[in-house]
Structure 1
Amino acid sequence: MEVSELKIFLTVARKGSISRAAEELHCVQSNVTTRIKQLEERLGTLLFHRKSKGVSLTHSGHLLLDYAERIIALAKEAEEAITNPDEPKGRLSIGTMETTAAVRLPPLLVNYHRLYPQVELNLVTGPSETSLKRLLDFQVDGAFVAGEIAHADLIAEKAFEEELVLVTPPDLTSLEQINPSKILVFRAGCSYRAQLEGWLRRTGRLPYQIMEFGSIEGIMGCVAAGMGVTFLPRSVVERPQYQDNCSFHRLPKDVAEMVTWLVRRRGETPGKALQALMDLIG
């Protein structure tokens, strides 16, 4: 098997479609189809079920998926070790929460870019759960996430400590007044959302409706308009643009304390670009 074949196989598996894989790989669809057929013939088994719309992995395909991810990661690690013996270079993809990308990462990344200008850094934002899945699927090299990290294939190191606060419309002045009919949150998989929902259940503030947003600005704007409440880190909501539009309420310590972790895959030696980022945080 060739690494190039495995990269095509992985792309088709992730996209669930020959045509979408061809678009991502910047090649014609017939080439992708041919390479997949050649790989199947060499292995003597079907790797994909062909459907009217897209493809799905067979049992053999699922078996190959894990090996392919590890082989490609090792090939990348070997290439970097040989071709970049000293200075970090190449592409580094990092998953991150929207809040971390907005507040914690800008000064860190400015320093990183100044020190390592030959690294092409790519940030992929999303809820913690999504970032962890991307990490396990080898779509990113590391991820900034919050909450408990209990997966045996991952290693987590503390990056930042956050204090969560309850953010409400400006006319609410105490926790005792809070009986929300709506909570304004990021989509499922967000650690802050999980913390908020757990707190509401424990304190008997039920029922409530959920409104999902894709940005901090959307959440804060709707809180200011009186549409609901949310949990966000104090480092986010204390920025000047939010000070006069919302109220911020201190939470009990066991609810407020939240660690942001930098997570990577266990069993892999961090590439030089990732190690440089870890060193700046440490």
Structure 2
Amino acid sequence: MIEVAGLTKVYGPVRAVDDLSFAVRPGRVTGFLGPNGAGKSTTMRLVLGLDAPTAGAATVGGRRYRELDRPLTRVGALLDAKWVHPNRSARGHLRWLAATNGIPRTRVDECLGLVGLSDVGGKRAGGFSLGMSQRLGLAAALLGDPGVLMFDEPVNGLDPEGIVWVRTFMKSLAAQGRTVFVSSHLLSEMALTADDVVIVGRGRLVWHGAMADFIAQHSDHSVRVRSPRADELGRELARRGIGVAPAGPPGVLTVTGVPTDTVGDVAAELGIPLHELAGATASLEEAFMRLTSGAVEYHGGSVA
């Protein structure tokens, strides 16, 4: 488990992380989301002991990272896919890491195989594409078979097949009981991957909980109704205080604030036939934009 308590990091006049507290549980994929400049990468660096907090603490399994013995066997991380020395081979890089933590050399080829790099293990990392570098970073994170894994934008540079593979891989790691903490700007991908979500804005916690609960609480819910007696149905719904509006084509309504069951029950009471009754699917993107609109540091302008 990762626990962050009152974590604060100040750089001069900037509070990059501001009194942040949350926990990342084992057996689940937790997405770490926020606008650019929200403090996500800084928070991960603080958890890994790469930066010292101004206040508060971040622990892994109840201990600070610098207190861990053979840390690669406890925590695996991918923060920067291009940090590898360009003249080292992929296999040489992993062997060097393994030696620093007493990890058997046999584990190196196992990890190269896990991420699909067996055939290029002898090639220099400097010649790798961004997608291949991401895979090498994942191999390094897995090297010590740790119980906690942290990934910062792990699908950057991957093709669609690679993105699906990373998604499946992270979910399988969580299913093994590991703690998986991953940041991403691909909201549609996070909606498919994460069980829980931590959202930050301007260094502060904005929301923390189950992904499904977040989407349900911060999205508009609407129902599309098509009926030959749509006007009559609309008047009755409005009389009951339910939001209703024409949806464009004649005979089609958009109903807000109630589930499909409620609309269907009202139509049944009046004996009104329905040709279509469908609830709109709420999206993570919609919920995220709604909640973080006030925490965006930089806004783009419109094109004239």
TM-score, normalized by length of structure 1? 0.27
Structure with the largest fraction of helix: 1
TM-score, normalized by length of structure 2? 0.25
